[in-house]
Amino acid sequence: MYGTMQDVPLLVSRILEHGRTIHGRSTVTTWTGEQEPHRRTFAEIGDRAAQLAHALRDELGVTPGSALGTLMWNNAEHVEAYLAIPSMGAVLHTLNLRLPAEQLVWIVNHADDKVVLANGSLLPLLAPLLPHLPSVEHVVVSGPGDRSLLDGLAPTVHEYEELIAGRPTSYAWPELDERSAAAMCYTSGTTGDPKGVVYSHRSIYLHSMQVNMAESMGLTDKDTTLVVVPQFHVNAWGLPHATFMTGVNMLMPDRFLQPAPLAEMIERERPTHAAAVPTIWQGLLAEVTAKPRDLSSMASVTIGGAACPPSLMEAYDKLGVRLCHAWGMTETSPLGTMSNPPAGLTDEQEWPYRITQGRFPAGVEARLVGPGGEHLPWDGESAGELEVRGAWIAGAYYGGADGEDLRPEDKFSEDGWLKTGDVGVISADGYLTLTDRAKDVIKSGGEWISSVDLENALMAHPDVAEAAVVAVPDEKWGERPLATVVLKEGATADYAALRTFLAQSVAKWQLPERWTIIPAVPKTSVGKFDKKVIRRQYADGELDITQL
């Protein structure tokens, strides 16, 4: 027996039409670096998305299933592309503008992008790549920047505004299969080739609903969210779609991602929410400590993509800004957990929950797997690799235009769960605490040492701006931790004092013997600690090590 309910496909076009009509007055504000930012309503964005779809189909010959790359900052035009491209049946492929040139070339060729939409300010990055991108027939440029950089290159160049001008402001969006591809994003590819995750209309729709739930970000049309997390990094955590469902206003920083303009944006536009990786919040904290700014409008902030040091959360608590920790991956759309504490607790009782990665929503099932493949209990103590499954979790990677989907054994279990590569514990009430990436765990004399615990403890020291701990080979123990520390301005290194400080929060046998001061922790293209660089620097003898 089947249910008697209507079978309406869950499509991005439905999100778009809902936002442009029911929430037509909500706005997308894009920072321009000038006195007045640029504002556009959801109704205008909806009209322009339809115009863009007409232009792409009628002028550029885009057909359902074609992939279109976007090399863009967070701004209104990028939101238009986010809505128009999937709605017309094509596939939005966001390109990470911080990737090395050869990886970008590999990714565009693998996805077989026919068109690239680019911001003018990114043409210096795009132009030298184009001779290596045979599939790209058209480049559509929006915003300020030197167009002459594209002179003499093969693709036809179009001006975004000219291309969409005068076209109809409604479009008969096709009634697609909800499982068809809507968007794709390649993982950062720290090992091997980057891997393409292809989001479906259905997964985006369901994920957006979860983002909007009160137990997740829980925003409404009374809110404005400052979307710092790039649109090229896991769909800006789903915000451009989720906001169109509920009318949340968006504040888009475009290319102004440095702490000073971010602080100014917050003070002037008074967003109630923001989303970004810890590095951004560290930078903003240093900025507002040196030059106080009013951040009080931000009732809540979603912080994720890398572990949030508890000391950072405490520092923002003091500024009246509540950070809420979230965990996710490109493969998980990304919302996997959020650390809203259970009801009925005092501030003090909430704290241990807030510093976890958070609990799983109904759409994400989780299990912990031990080294021998055994399933571990949720007792807050048994540490294993996290595996997840759910309607917005990848079940495979894109195999290319002619290839089959890829299900590498190290990424997917035999029964189809995603192996996250993250190691941690889960409490009986479903809160996840990550202790490491599987490849970053320090295995010392048969015991595991958590690099994240050591980093968090070090970053709580008043002289320490940032700290990264990696495993280095050790004759006696197999591996031992190496502490690399970035000092705050004006502080001097006193390793013995740092070690004594660490001893207050971790077991004695876990204390690092090897220490070094570095000017900055190397970061990946999406702002996470890049530990493989530190391990390589150590192996190559580039670091000045002090042994205690």
Hey, which residues are catalytic here? 187, 331, 443, 448
H-type alpha helices, 213-327: 234-237, 239-246, 259-269, 278-290, 310-318
* Position among 11, 116, 122, 329 found at the interface with ligand AMP (CB under 6 A): 329
| Binding window for ligand AMP (CB under 6 A); candidates: 63-71, 419-427, 462-470, 534-542 | 419-427
Residue nearer to ligand AMP on the CB measure, 180 or 420: 420
- State CA 115 to chain mean position distance: 24
Do the strands 224-227 and 249-252 form a parallel or antiparallel pair, or are they unpaired? parallel
| Length reported for the chain | 548
Please report the DSSP string for 84-108 in residue order.
HHHHTT-EEEE--TTS-HHHHHHHH
Tell me the closest approach of the beta carbon of residue 172 to ligand AMP, in angstroms.
36
| Binding window for ligand AMP (CB under 6 A); candidates: 310-318, 404-412, 416-424, 475-483 | 416-424
Does residue 187 bind ligand AMP (CB under 6 A)? yes
Does residue 304 bind ligand AMP (CB under 6 A)? yes
Number of H helices, E strands in the chain: 16, 27
Cα distances from 239 to residues 225, 251, 338, 457, in angstroms, run 9, 11, 15, 32
| Binding window for ligand AMP (CB under 6 A); candidates: 131-139, 299-307, 367-375, 443-451 | 299-307
Tell me the closest approach of the beta carbon of residue 488 to ligand AMP, in angstroms.
23
Closest C-alpha among 16, 63, 64 to residue 43 = 16
* Position among 149, 307, 468, 483 found at the interface with ligand AMP (CB under 6 A): 307
Contact positions with ligand AMP (CB under 6 A) in 27-46 = none
Does residue 236 bind ligand AMP (CB under 6 A)? no
State both tokens at 445: 């004399």
Tell me the closest approach of the beta carbon of residue 400 to ligand AMP, in angstroms.
20
Tell me the closest approach of the beta carbon of residue 463 to ligand AMP, in angstroms.
24
Please report the DSSP string for 430-468 in residue order.
SEEEEEEEGGG-EEETTEEE-HHHHHHHHHTSTTEEEEE
Tell me the closest approach of the beta carbon of residue 483 to ligand AMP, in angstroms.
19
Does residue 420 bind ligand AMP (CB under 6 A)? yes
Residue 181 phi/psi, 5° resolution?
Answer: -65, 135
* Position among 20, 158, 389, 437 found at the interface with ligand AMP (CB under 6 A): 437
By the 10 Å C-beta count (0-12 exposed, 13-18 middle, 19+ buried), 369 is classed as middle
Q: Provide the 3-class DSSP secondary structure of residue 39.
A: strand
CB-based contacts of 80, cutoff 8 Å, min separation 6? 45, 48, 49, 52
CA distance 70 to 86: 13
Q: Provide the 3-class DSSP secondary structure of residue 296.
A: coil
Torsion sign (Cα): 298, 302, 305, 311: positive
* Position among 82, 205, 327, 398 found at the interface with ligand AMP (CB under 6 A): 327
* Position among 28, 84, 123, 434 found at the interface with ligand AMP (CB under 6 A): 434
| Binding window for ligand AMP (CB under 6 A); candidates: 25-33, 202-210, 305-313, 315-323 | 305-313
Does residue 330 bind ligand AMP (CB under 6 A)? yes
Half-sphere exposure of 100 (CA within 13 A, CB side): 7
Does residue 301 bind ligand AMP (CB under 6 A)? no
Comparing every residue's Cβ against ligand AMP, the nearest one is 330
Residue nearer to ligand AMP on the CB measure, 77 or 422: 422
Here's the x/- map for ligand AMP, 344-383, by CB under 6 A: it reads as: -------------x--------------------------
**Residues engaged in binding ligand AMP (CB under 6 A):** 187-188, 234, 304-307, 325-330, 334, 357, 420-422, 434, 437, 526
